[in-house]
Amino acid sequence: MHATLQTGTTATNKELAVRWLDLVGAGDVDGLCATVTPTWTMIGGPPGLPPGPDGIRALVATFGRIRQTWTVDDVVAEGDRVVVRATNHCEQDEFLGVPAAGIEQVFAATFVFRIVDGRVDRIWRTAQDLQRLLQLGALVVPPSRRPSMP
């Protein structure tokens, strides 16, 4: 029989990562800003986000009108890293310029959080963004079929 030893720090880090997704789903910008360091960054999110709380505000602004729910599927932590695999159900006006109003999108994402002094300092995001676009009816056109440029 193997017992899993979980330190308070690891458990606290897991709780923070899961709470972060809950705050995103609720659109709680102030709550999110309170969870991040002044140097917070996201890799794999929208390009050009400034660091820290300003980056959180810019991130949430990219969502536009959205209704979303995250369901956490797995949480694994070691040291200052927490990996969360989650599924999102959302509806928003558009996604990456593709009209999306009235279409529920379902996609999976994996987040790696680095926690520093009880706050989120960095997030690496990998998500099924292409799957979302296909759910919205976007077409992938191979280069050989694209119209020639004048």
Task: Please report which helix (H) or strand (E) contains residue 121, including its range.
Answer: strand 119-127
- Strands 66-78 and 119-127, bridge-based pairing: unpaired
Each domain of the chain, given as residue ranges in start order, spans 8-138
CA distance 52 to 142: 38
Provide the mean pLDDT of the chain.
Answer: 91
CA distance 134 to 15: 33
CA distance 74 to 85: 5
The C-alpha angle with vertex 102 and arms to 101 and 107, in degrees rounded to 5, equals 85
How confident is the model over 27-44, as pLDDT tens digits? 999 999 999 999 999 999
Q: Kindly state the average pLDDT of the residues 10-38.
A: 97
What pLDDT sits at residue 142?
84
How confident is the model over 49-93, as pLDDT tens digits? 999 999 999 999 999 999 999 999 999 999 999 999 999 999 999
Q: Which fold has domain 8-138?
A: Nuclear Transport Factor 2; Chain: A, (3.10.450)
pLDDT above 80 (res 107): yes
What pLDDT sits at residue 140?
85
What pLDDT sits at residue 27?
94
